[in-house]
Structure 1
Amino acid sequence: MPTVEVADLKDDDFLLDVREDDEWQAGHAARALHIPLSEFVARYGEFTEAVPQDGRVHVICRSGGRSAQVTMYLVQQGVDAVNVDGGMQVWAAVGRPVVDAAGEPGAVL
């Protein structure tokens, strides 16, 4: 499973958040694309329209389990995808910004 540490992410890296809507609304990385795991296959076209053609996809969830599933799926589709180790829990713990649905400071559920 290809993985990356939160500390190694750059501000302009493409981030895909696969947590559910309630988790997203409570707190997420401001620049992330949100497609919940439960809807991912049905919304794959939305993903392909958003992802940069020559860029790596960094997949994140709460702790790394759901994002690992999506990462495996994407790799099977030929996408350069990596799982963000530790997910949003580590993201918040290392001080990366988390915003809620209104763009205010958020929290990771």
Structure 2
Amino acid sequence: MLLWPTLRRGKGGPVSVSDAVQTVNRNQGVFVDVRPPDQFKTGTIAQARNVPVADLGAKAGSLPKNKPLIVFCEQGRESIKAAALLRKQGLDAVSLEGGLKAWTQAGMPLSKKA
């Protein structure tokens, strides 16, 4: 049972908010917000990079190859596909389970981007 989150992460499955925070803190993970820029500006996870789904193929090369990526969207649906695309390009990417909605429901802070 204790290995289940690790096994899921290894397969690229969605990770919980707490697992995502641990990944960022322990392994210098990077949050990647795949929502459109107008949604990104209304509020996102602090330090998140905005790479909209529509631009992901072209901009994947700008993402760090040596750090785990936690990909998220509003509810976690688009980010699952986005993380799979990034993994196909050789990046270590997982989706945030439940997306930004789960993040805020967990009481985690948002940052507004100018």
Report the TM range for the smaller structure's normalisation: 0.7 to 0.9
Give the structure with the higher percent strand: 1
- Counterpart residue number, 1:66: 78
**In the comparison of the two structures, how many residue pairs are matched?**
98
Q: Structure with the greater relative contact order (CA < 8 A, sep ≥ 6): 1 or 2? A: 1
Instruction: Report the Cα offset of residue 78 of structure 1.
Output: 2.1
Root-mean-square deviation (Å): 1.5
Divergent runs of 4+, >4 A = none
CA-CA distance at 1:26 after TM superposition: 0.4
Structure having the higher helix fraction is 2
* Structure 1 alignment gaps of length 5 or more: 103-109
Segment of structure 1 superposing worse, 33-42 or 82-91: 33-42
Equivalent residue number for residue 3 of structure 1 = 14
Unaligned runs of 5+ in 2: 1-11
Does 2:34 correspond to 1:18? yes
Q: State, as a whole percentage, how many aligned pairs show the same letter.
A: 30
**1:95 shift after superposition:** 1.0
Q: Which residue of 2 aligns with 1:97?
A: 109
Conserved? CA contact 2:68–2:92, under 8 Å: yes
Give, in whole Å, the separation in 1 of the partners of 2:39 and 2:105. Answer: 16
